[in-house]
Amino acid sequence: MGLCVPKFKPPQTLLAPTEEDFRKAGTKCAKAADGRCIEYSVFGSSEADARIVINGYYALDEMPYLEPVLLRLNIRYFDISFPGLGLSQIDTGLHHHLWPKTDVEPVLAAEGISEDTKLYVWGQSAGTQYAMAMAQHFGAERVVKLGLRAPYMPKPLSQELMLPVGQPTICSLKDLEPPGTCNGRCLACTMSCSYGIMACWARYCWSCVRPAAAVEDKMGQTKAQMQHKGLMFFKKLMKPHDYQGGLYFMAKEVLLNDAEANQDKGLDVRKLKDNGFVGPDKVLVWWAEDDTDTGPVHPPWLVEHLKAEERKFTKPCGHDGATEWYHEQFLEALVRDGSPAQPSAVDVCLVGKSSKD
């Protein structure tokens, strides 16, 4: 079996970022083997025995609301921008299960993280497939725990299991080739408008923001911090890659959603269990029963298949709550190393219950 590497004409707007670009963004650059720039940031503890936590999506320039938490938990936190987001250049032959090799390894090497250092990996929404890819790539001996927030499985697997699709296919690479098809432009316009409206609301009209995002005790942030974070997300989406970058990492060819039966599907979630990712000490799944973005079917399947520790949010919560609420408690659970959760830190605050209950 083999992979069909997609042929993709990269967007003409994707120029190589300069040192000045990274200085202005407040982030760092690691070089991939093919010369691409990979944007990342590092926060938290600088202690030699710090726990290494890795998340992929956007590399933010600061995390003032999380910094005290990271120091308290002795976490050295890596944020890595996916290809096409922020200043990370597009990998024109990317398949999501190769991302840990092509992008994560160079970042760890740039920061002097040895190959035998233990890792904690997690992802949210579309990033959960990349988090599972990290677990698959680095293995259960190195990855202490896998955390998934609002997860969904690759489309071929869900079809094989006769489950509803988690998140619909966003677009194809053809949609993203300049000047872009109508489908690609419409999707990008919708995404840009939604983020733009969110950013404007966050800055000028807080009363208009979705109630799930406006509850300070759930978010662990003040309103000012949430406004700042919303604006940073908007800038990361819109700059500097035009519309193509923000959709690239979710394209169906990148996620191998069109893989034939005799082709390598890249990521087979079922094998994670066989490879040692099983049990509440190894896998953590948080999800919401009213999440309409990634759906309410895949998380229970993952919980049952991987025998994971579960936190289910009841209504109203939605996708925003499933990915953002109680992040301090999520990190506590992620790096707990098998010790029981402190009721004051987790159980009292969370909506829903653990699969252990």
* Residue indicated by tokens 């904690």: 120
Q: Are 277 and 148 in contact (CB under 8 A)?
A: no
- Whether residue 290 is contained in a domain is answered as yes
Residue 305 lies in a domain: yes
Is the residue at 38 inside a domain?
A: yes
Q: Is residue 111 part of a domain?
A: yes
Can you give the pLDDT at residue 221? 58
- CA nearest to 131, candidates 55, 79, 76: 55
Q: What is the pLDDT of residue 117?
A: 97
The pLDDT of residue 46? 95
**Do the domain assignments include residue 200?**
no
pLDDT at residue number 38? 95
Q: Which CATH number fits the domain that encloses residue 125? A: 3.40.50.1820
Distance (Å, rounded) from C-alpha 327 to C-alpha 346? Answer: 10
Q: Quote the pLDDT of residue 151.
A: 95
Q: What is the pLDDT of residue 357?
A: 40
Report if residue 356 sits inside a domain: no
What was the pLDDT predicted at 260?
A: 67
Average pLDDT by stretches of 10, the chain with 357 residues: 47 71 91 94 96 93 86 97 87 89 97 96 95 97 97 88 80 72 62 54 42 52 61 57 70 81 78 95 95 91 96 87 89 78 36 41
**DSSP for 106-158?**
HHHHHTT--TT--EEEEEETTHHHHHHHHHHHH-TTTEEEEEEES----HHHH
The reported pLDDT for the residue numbered 258 is: 73
Say which residue the tokens 């025995």 belong to: 49
In a domain, 53, yes or no: yes
Give the angle 343-127-344 at the CA atoms, nearest 5°. 5
- pTM, two decimal places: 0.83
Picking from 155, 175, 156, 157, the residue whose alpha carbon sits closest to that of residue 167 is 155
Write out the residue range of the structural domain in which residue 54 sits.
19-169+254-334
**What total number of domains does the chain contain?**
1
Widest CA span of the chain, in angstroms? 54
pLDDT at 224: 62
In a domain, 42, yes or no: yes
